[in-house]
């Protein structure tokens, strides 16, 4: 078993249960009470390695003071052969357990045995999960929201995979509908300016004004000349949109690869039209009496159905009215489908024909109003959107330099894109900071991201790995190789800094599972920061070079175990684990 923290918790619960049965047989407790409680790691390690609250939760049923219950349990507890050395009663009735040397050795053995797979579990074994993220509009460069969503989605997919799920990373390409028509019209306007000069029509007011549109138009003209000016507008738009996407999509892919992100599939919105998936979805919604026609358009009853759902949950009419819930258009009077219709069809395919057990989307916080409506539509389709579709909402990012907000690139003088950002700061720093605290608006300190000192958290952790590599290499040159755990005297690893470091190493499987369960991969950032801190303390307190041979071997094995775990945790974040800095 690689999750030695879970093993210790389960062992404590089992010991408490056995002690209760033993005490009940003596007549000290009622025999028919189920003693439930939780065993956790206390914040203050002086109070034990694990603390259980079973005595307090069982006080009412046993009609006894919690501390008295704890004392009876402790008296009847047999720790022999377990992973604990002792148990103490503390405070109002906590049972505080202290770990035995064999547990610490088991942690090192688990790391050695699992290798690069240390931390993996089968918690989500059998679950097929799709994580859709970035899904940036292909009409222009990727921005800061895409940068943050990219690393959050990528790292979440990784912790889900390491928890046993079959995971697919997907990018949804909006290559149809109104945005692409606007994209085509914008390129067309710039193209006609090149060909016709002052005789060109006025640039559309709602068009895309960026230099990238001018560059696409110029590139098309340079390759194909002025012949397109004689084509029908519809044909011209189709050709220019396809040409523009042929430039933008490869650029997106290369930027994302540079950022350490590779998708399993790029799903094109146009496939929903080509395969009639939107039409089929609307027919199914209509067959379930969820749609109606008004003013020539087709509507879905999202507003009325959500109101009814809220009434059933007990929400007051006054609170419901405040939400101003309205129905949504699926097909406009001009016959064109809306983005919402396409979105429902796409998610119907995810959870239906494509066979995913769960779909997870990484969205900006500004999409929060869309969540309940999409879940409801999937519920109507019988796909249990309430439980099978999960949305992770991320907050905005403010780029800061010298304590002031930055909106323009030093290099281009324009709005900062993902590509601009990666020209300015290391990819590792970008991935680290964007993965931190997704549920809060963040100030991304550009100055901190490039600093090479302990104030920069990613540098701090990477330096710990490099320091370990250097230590191991130096000792190897002196003739000291890393020995297997079977060859060392692990009982010599017994000072507080060594125990604290091993306990942190043991936590990785638990943190991966917790990150997957909470959809919060920033837990890995916090885990590895603490691991780096505990290593630096261990390195300061526990001398390795020049120590007695048996102690040197034991501490060197611990150093190698730490190096492995730091590398694994950095790999989860998509960050390099350098051996030299």
Alpha-carbon distance of 114 to 509, in angstroms, equals: 11
**pLDDT tens digits for range 181-238:** 999 999 999 999 999 999 999 999 999 988 999 999 999 999 999 999 999 999 999 9
Q: What is the pLDDT of residues 537-565, one digit of tens each?
A: 999 999 999 999 999 999 999 999 999 99
DSSP helix/strand/coil, 137: coil
pLDDT band of 409, cuts 50, 70, 90: low
| pLDDT(395) > 90 | no
287 neighbors 300 (Cβ within 8 angstroms): no
DSSP 501: H
Q: pLDDT by residue (tens digit) across 257-305?
A: 999 999 999 999 999 999 999 999 999 999 999 999 999 999 999 999 9
Share of the chain above pLDDT 70, in %: 99
> Would you say residue 319 has pLDDT above 70?
yes
Residue range 476-498: mean pLDDT, rounded: 96
- For residue 408, the model assigns a pLDDT of 66
Neighbouring C-alpha atoms within 13 Å toward the C-beta of 11:
24
* Edge-to-edge strands, sheet with 442-445: 404-405, 397-401, 442-445
Q: pLDDT tens digits, residue range 418-442?
A: 999 999 999 999 999 999 877 778 8
pLDDT (0 to 100) of residue 115: 96
Closest CA to 258 of 581, 578, 574: 574
Cβ neighbors of 38 (< 8 A, separation 6 or more) are 52, 53
- Say what the pLDDT of residue 1 is: 65
- State the Cα–Cα distance between residues 419 and 147, nearest whole angstrom: 9
pLDDT value of position 109: 98
Residue 144: per-residue pLDDT = 84
What pLDDT sits at residue 324? 87
> Which candidate, 78, 155, 218, 37, places its Cα nearest to that of 574?
155
The secondary element (H helix, E strand) that includes residue 293 is strand 291-294
Mean pLDDT over 53-76 rounds to 96
d(CA 134, CA 25): 61
pLDDT tens-digit series, residues 343-363: 999 999 999 999 999 999 999
Secondary structure (DSSP) of 456-505: SHHHHHHHHHHHHHHHHHHHHHTT-PPPPGGGS-GGG--SHHHHHHHHHH
Looking at residue 22, what is its pLDDT?
97
Which residue did the predictor score with more confidence, 397 or 457? 457
Strand-pairing partners, residue 300, are 291, 328
Structural domains in the chain, sorted by start:
4-99 (3.30.1360.70), 128-173+266-394 (3.40.50.620), 178-260 (no CATH), 397-449 (no CATH), 457-572 (1.10.730.10)
Query: Would you state the pLDDT for residue 148?
Result: 92
Closest residue by Cα to residue 66 from 96, 95, 24, 25: 95
DSSP-derived letter for residue 157 is H
Q: Centre a 10 Å sphere on the Cβ of residue 182 and count the other Cβ atoms it contains.
A: 16
pLDDT in the model for residue 410: 59
Which pLDDT value is given to residue 3?
A: 94
Q: What is the mean pLDDT of the chain?
A: 94
pLDDT digits (tens, 9 = 90+) for 31-56: 888 899 999 999 888 889 999 999 99
pLDDT tens profile 82-99: 999 999 999 999 999 999
């Amino acid at each position: 078993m690689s999750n030695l923290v879970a093993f210790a918790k389960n062992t404590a619960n089992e010991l408490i249960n056995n002690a209760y049965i033993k005490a009940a047989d003596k007549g000290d407790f009622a025999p028919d009470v189920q003693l439930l409680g939780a065993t956790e790691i206390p914040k203050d390690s002086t109070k034990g390695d694990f603390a259980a609250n079973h005595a307090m939760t069982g006080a009412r049923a046993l009609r006894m003071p919690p501390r008295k219950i704890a004392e009876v349990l402790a008296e009847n507890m047999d720790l022999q052969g377990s992973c604990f050395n002792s148990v103490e009663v503390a405070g109002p009735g906590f049972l505080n357990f202290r770990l035995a040397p064999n547990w610490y050795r088991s942690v090192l053995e688990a790391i050695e045995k699992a290798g690069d797979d240390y931390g993996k579990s089968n918690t989500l074994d059998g679950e097929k999960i799709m994580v859709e993220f970035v899904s940036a509009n292909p009409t222009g460069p990727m921005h800061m929201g895409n940068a943050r969503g990219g690393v959050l989605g990528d790292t979440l997919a990784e912790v889900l995979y390491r928890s046993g799920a079959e995971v697919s990373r997907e990018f949804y390409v909006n290559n149809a509908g109104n945005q692409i028509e606007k994209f085509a019209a914008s390129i067309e306007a710039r193209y006609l300016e090149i060909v016709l000069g002052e005789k060109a029509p006025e640039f559309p007011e709602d068009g895309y004004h960026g230099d990238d549109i001018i560059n696409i138009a110029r590139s098309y003209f340079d390759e194909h000349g002025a012949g397109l000016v004689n084509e029908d507008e519809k044909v011209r738009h189709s050709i220019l949109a396809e040409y523009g996407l042929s430039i933008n999509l490869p650029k997106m892919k290369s930027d994302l690869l540079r950022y350490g992100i590779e998708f399993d599939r790029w799903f094109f919105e146009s496939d929903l039209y080509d395969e009639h998936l939107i039409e089929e979805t609307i027919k199914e919604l209509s067959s379930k009496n969820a749609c109606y026609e008004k003013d020539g358009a087709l509507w879905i009853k999202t507003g009325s159905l959500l109101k009814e759902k809220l009434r059933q949950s007990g929400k007051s009419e006054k609170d419901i009215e405040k939400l101003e819930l309205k129905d949504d258009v699926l097909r406009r009077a001009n016959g064109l489908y809306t983005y919402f219709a396409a979105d429902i069809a796409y998610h119907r395919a995810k959870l239906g024909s494509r066979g995913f057990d769960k779909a997870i989307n990484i969205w900006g916080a500004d999409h929060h109003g869309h969540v309940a409506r999409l879940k409801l539509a999937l519920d109507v389709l019988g796909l249990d959107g309430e439980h099978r579709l999960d949305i992770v909402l991320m907050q905005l990012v403010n780029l800061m330099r010298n304590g002031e907000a930055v909106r323009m690139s030093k290099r281009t003088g324009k709005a900062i894109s993902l590509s601009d950002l990666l020209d300015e700061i290391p990819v590792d720093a970008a991935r680290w900071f964007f993965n931190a605290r997704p549920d809060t608006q963040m100030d991304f300190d550009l100055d901190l991201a490039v600093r090479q000192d302990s104030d920069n958290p990613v540098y701090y952790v990477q330096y710990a790995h490099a320091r370990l590599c250097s230590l191991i290499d130096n000792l190897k040159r002196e003739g000291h190789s890393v020995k297997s755990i079977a060859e060392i005297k692990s009982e010599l690893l017994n000072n507080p800094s060594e125990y604290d470091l091993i306990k942190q190493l043991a936590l990785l499987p638990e943190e991966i599972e917790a990150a997957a369960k909470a959809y919060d991969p920033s837990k890995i950032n916090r885990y590895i920061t603490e691991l780096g801190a505990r290593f630096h303390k261990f390195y300061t307190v526990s001398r390795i070079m020049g120590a007695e041979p048996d102690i040197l071997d034991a501490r060197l094995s611990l150093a190698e175990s730490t190096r492995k775990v730091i590398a694994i945790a950095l790999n989860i974040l998509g960050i390099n684990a350098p051996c030299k800095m």
